[in-house]
Structure 1
Amino acid sequence: MLTIHADSRGHALAVRGERIEAAGPLAELSAGHPHARVRTWPGILTPGFVNLHGTELLERAYHPDPREAGTLGTEPLTGDALRALALDDARWGASARRGVQRMLARGTVAAACEPFRIRAVQDAVRRTGLTVLPRPHHPGGTPSLDPLASDLPPETPPARTPGSAACFAVFDVHDETELAERGATATCVATVIAGRLLFRRR
């Protein structure tokens, strides 16, 4: 089934399965595909982000379960706090799943990672659908779930063209300038990877 995703500026992507079939103005795509399903999103369609600190956020940090917020807080735990937890495989896997969900909620469509050393993390990340890109070395900068909050320039995937993977994120802002000012944490509406809607703000 062909679905046309459109933003408030009239920019649109026609998606069939895992691939982008066409990109252009909503009016043009709707006229060319009159039987397509049209999904209109508030804000802007973007290629999404590549988080350069995938290793640090998924395998060198623990993302507390919401039920642990009273004792562990809500922010990722690293360093001595992480070591004190003495995590087993089950908790590592659950942490990685929560970490990926928090990345998706900020418009991340891919994470750059060194080879995972913890099998439970590797398996958990693979099942989430997040694209994992090889990372030959540490990029520097401060790891952040919000790619716009890191002290590195935000990284985006290649331009979306017909035939490329249907990966994009939607942010409820007027334009890219407002997105840069407000960040991704409070503005991400949806994240799509390989045609699958993996995050949608409720």
Structure 2
Amino acid sequence: MLTIHADSRGHALVVQGAWIADAGQLAELVAAHPRARVREWPGILTPGLVNIHGNELLEEAYHPDPREADELGTEPLTGDALAALDMDDARWGASARRAVQRMLAHGTVRAACESLTNHAVRDAVHRSGLAVMGRIGRPGGTPSLDPYAAEWPVTFAEPRERHSAARFAVFDVRDETELAERGAGTCVATVAEGRIVYRRR
């Protein structure tokens, strides 16, 4: 089944399975694909983001369960705070699943990693829809779930054009300038392999 995703500017993508079948203006695509389901989102469509701190966020930090907030807070724990925790495979896997969801909620569709050596983390990531891409060495800087908060230029995944992979995000902003100012926390939806893997409630 075809789905047309459109933003407030009328830019739209036709998604078929895991691929972008067509791209253009909403009115033109609706006319060309009259049987497609249409999803209209507030804001702008962009390619999905790449988070360069994959290793640091996925297997070198613990993302507390909301039920642990009173004891551990809500921010990722690293260093001595992480070392003080009793981390078994189940806890690492659960942390990685929460990390992935938080990355998807920031429009991230790819995480750059040297390699994922923790098998519980690797399994959780591979089931999630978040893609992993290689990197050489450590990028430095302070890891953040928001790629716009990093000390490096923002990197995007696949382009939004016909026959490219359907990996993109929608941010509730007027344009790219406002997105850069307000950051990826403005994400309202993330699509990976053609599936909506995050949608803001």
Same fold (TM over 0.5): yes
What is the SS of the residue equivalent to 1:162? Answer: coil
Q: Residue 116 of structure 1 corresponds to which residue in structure 2?
A: 116
Counterparts of 1:30-179 in structure 2 under 5 Å?
Answer: 30-179=30-179
Deviant stretches of 4+, over 3 Å? none
- Give the 3-state SS of the residue equivalent to 1:192 in structure 2: strand
Is contact 2:47-2:168 (8 Å) kept? yes
Q: Give the secondary structure class of the aligned counterpart of 1:148.
A: helix
Give the equivalent residue in structure 2 for 1:28: 28
Normalised TM-score (structure 2): 0.98
CA displacement 1:175-198 (0-9 Å, x = unmatched): 01111111111x110000010100
- Kept in 1, the 8 Å contact 2:158–2:167? The answer is no
TM-score, length basis structure 1: 0.97
Displacement of 1:114 in angstroms is 1.6
Alpha-carbon distance, 1:85 to partner: 0.3
Percent identity between matched residues is 71
Alignment coverage as a number of residue pairs: 201
Deviation at 1:142, TM superposition (A): 1.6
Paired AA for residue 94 in structure 2:
A
Q: CA–CA distance in 1 between the matches of 2:128 and 2:157?
A: 19
Alpha-carbon distance between aligned partners in 2 of 1:158 and 1:96, rounded to the nearest angstrom:
24
Q: Is there any run of 5+ residues in structure 1 with no aligned partner, and where?
A: none
Q: How far 1:86 moved relative to its partner?
A: 2.8
Stretch moving more, 16-25 or 27-36: 27-36
CA contact (8 A) 2:158 2:164 kept: no
Q: Is 30-39 or 67-76 further displaced after alignment?
A: 30-39
- Pairwise CA RMSD: 0.8
Q: Which ranges in structure 2 are unaligned for 5 or more consecutive residues?
A: none
